[in-house]
Amino acid sequence: MDKQDDSETGFDLDRLAGALECLLFAAPDPLPMARLADLLECPPDVVRLALEGLEGRLDGGGLQVIRLAGGIALGTRREYAEYVQRLREPPPERLSAAALEVLAIVGYRQPVTRAEVDAIRGVDSSGSLRTLVEKGLVAVQGRKQAPGRPMLFVTTEQFLRTFGLQDLSDLPDVPGAFCERARQLTLQDERQARSDAPAPPEDEAPDEAATGEE
């Protein structure tokens, strides 16, 4: 991209695109537009122009600008995923079919109780829910105003990041399509799990009688 100082904005968009690339590379999580505008000391509209310039720079390369969990990040292109997977240690871990099924139910029905998940699947789901909570993909968000006050489960920002979604509206219309896509995506190493969705305390594990979901 040619160096330019847009007369309408008064900003050097070429320099801003370079600064933006550095910020996205260094940030551990997606950066919201407002945060980028603050860091670059320019209006959000100018940040969007700089993003367009950065996307032009990255076109044809292995990295791309992605929009995840309401923010902006740098990510690798899918056609190079196999090379990135070789770098990971320990070997990447995948969710079981049962856990994927439970995750899909939570994703499309949230907030949902364990009893409601069990009713849809026809089997006990406490083990799968516990696994999803431990991996930071699902979290407890309060309790339902019902007898026993069972816990309500929702998906997390880690869920959005793991499956490449900007928000829940990006979920496929058909739950089965999500499950198929999820089977093909490798979960992030647990060491990268975000602290925004900690596992419940031992006395509030999903399969405890205290949930009211006998």
Domains of the chain, by residue range, sit at 13-86, 97-208
**What is the pLDDT, as a whole number, of residue 8?**
65
pLDDT score at 64:
94
CATH code, residues 13-86: 1.10.10.10
Residue 45, amino acid? D
> Residues near 93 by Cβ (< 8 Å), separated by ≥ 6?
186, 187, 189, 190
Closest CA to 75 of 166, 139, 2, 136: 166
Give the torsion through C-alpha atoms of 115, 118, 122, 126, to 10 deg.
-130
CATH topology of domain 97-208: Arc Repressor Mutant, subunit A (1.10.10)
Instruction: Please report the pLDDT score of residue 91 as a whole number.
Output: 55
Token pair recorded at residue 62 = 């292995």
pLDDT on residue 209: 38
Given this model, what pLDDT does residue 69 score?
A: 78
Torsion of CA 98, 127, 121, 185, to 10 degrees: -30
pTM for this predicted structure: 0.52
Report the alpha-carbon distance of residue 204 to residue 43 in Å, rounded: 45
107 backbone φψ class: left, alpha, beta (φ>0; ψ -120 to 50): alpha
Cα dihedral 153, 159, 165, 171 in deg (nearest 10): -40
| pLDDT digits (tens), the chain, 214 positions | 444 455 466 889 999 999 999 999 999 999 999 999 999 999 999 999 999 999 999 999 999 999 987 899 999 998 988 888 777 655 556 788 899 899 999 999 999 999 999 998 899 999 999 999 999 999 999 999 988 899 999 999 988 888 878 888 888 776 665 666 555 553 444 334 344 444 444 444 455 433 444 3
Closest CA to 20 of 42, 194, 137: 42
